Structure 1
Amino acid sequence: MTALELNLVPALCAAFDDGSLQLHYQPEVDLRNGSVPAMEAFLRWQHPDHGLLNPAQFMPVAEAAGLSEQVGRWVLQTAVAEARTWHEMASGTTIRPPRLWVNVTADQLTRPDFAVEVERLMAGRGLPPGALGLEFTEQTLGLAHIGVPRLLSHLRSFGPAVGVDGFGTWYASMSTLDVLPLDMVKIDGRFLRAMQRDLEGEAVLASIITLAHRRRLVVTAEGVDSMVIASRLAAMNCDRGAGRLFCPPVPTDDARMIALGRGRPDRRHERSGSSSHPPATVPMRPPASNRVREGRYDASRH
């Protein structure tokens, strides 16, 4: 590690307790009706000198310092606690809080006690089935041990949904849908860029969506940054979209407002790294052409 990176280690060790390690949350918007059926947790570190850092800026330091496992446990524990908070806040109302998706690393997945840890956390917080979702990259699933399908089935048996993040970025993409018990696939933003370039790119994206729906999976597109893209995705029957068009990852207080259906926060949060701006009351809005053809596939069940 460089001298600068070495200097980050003591502060990172302290971040687990001093509140500077945080989760931010990004809504996933239903392209048919503009509702928010799910949100994804993103790790952030509010460093006292360097400002708001994303994982790419500090996780290499955590790995070199032997802290990556501790970070993974902190993320999972914090996400489960926050999902419980959403359900407590919605108690006594007709609101159904969004599912909270959490990214899981290969190191976590291959730990012998991972499933036990997830089951213990969910039972301890009294989370209802489906309140939590676990996301794995294709590479993580492909490089893990041969018992992955059985492990994912075991995980799903006590409540969490299971999804693939960045779908289509690894060579095993299509076979993933056939051999793994999944609830959701999240399409990588590069497919959206390819869709904008030519008809071939659009055809590939459409085929992925069709294939996933045949297996009764929810399809979410990442990196939606324009109304044109959102409308084209809706026309292709893509279920959900996430990206800066709708809302960037936001701090906890703003995420709770969204989870309770009270609007979305001011977009200045991501630029400033501050949570001082009050949440706006602008609702999540679907794209103009949001009339997705209804069929036997019912994404609202997930």
Structure 2
Amino acid sequence: MSDKAVGEIAEFSEAEKGFVSSLAPMIAAKLMFAMIALLGVCHAVNYYIKKNEIEFFGGDYFYRFFDLNLEQNIPAWYASVLWFLVFQFSLLNYLLERWSKSKTVRDRPHSWVWLFFAVLFLVASADEVATIHEHVGSLLQDLVVPTMRAQIATYFVRNGFSPESFVVHFSTSKSPWVLFYAPFLIAAGGFCWLFLWRRFSYSRHLRVLMVLAALCYLVAETFDFIQGMRSPPISMFPQPLGLDWPTFLDLTVMVEELLEDCGTVFIVLALFQHFCHGFRVSDPGGDSGEKTAAV
């Protein structure tokens, strides 16, 4: 962008402001999407190597470094970086609203939500590489799920379902965190999403980005739940596609992880562009930009 300090924003020319507000975010987003595509290609190569039992020097390292279904590798690191970018831009938007010399921008209500949003994604960034939710979720599953599953099974058996029915196996073995964290994540995510939706009232483009982000996350978490089913209904998922369960599982893992990354990039792009928009409406010399400021 520029080597000028934030305090020197007043010296930006209109051409420089235009570059910061439109060109830079799009270039950054394109680079991030390109990286996601590259990770998808690497995972597909991984699958091909495993499927055909191809052995070559360094193959085990390639598998470990690029498998989207593993933790603490390059895809996990990249996802953590994307989460951290959301944290940074949330914090920057908060500071911009607090320190702006434009009264309209400075007096926007509920600026504290930016900090809540920032902390949420900072924790997500750490969790992505530390696998916190998997470990805590597994502990909670060991303590709670056996009783929960027994109650669910009893209810459905009494109502005419067979014990083998997949509804009896509603709990997840691979992703137990879904059972315990989903209510909080839905509530917190929905709250932040509504906040951003109102903040982006001045731009249909930014609202479209938020809708795309929400769709990416919803589809990704649906795949995550399917992957964790203890006794998946095979006929409902892979068979109509002509796939066996391992192939279907690997495909859904790739789609899930890449969709999560894409959803995060959409959020980063929206926050980046909103931040740049703030520079244009927050005239450091006074309130001249208030007429175009977002309410």
How high is the TM-score relative to the length of structure 1?
Answer: 0.24
Structure with the greater relative contact order (CA < 8 A, sep ≥ 6): 1 or 2?
Answer: 2
Answer with 1 or 2: which has the greater Rg: 2
How high is the TM-score relative to the length of structure 2?
Answer: 0.25
The structure carrying a bigger strand percent of its residues is: 1
The structure carrying a bigger helix percent of its residues is: 2
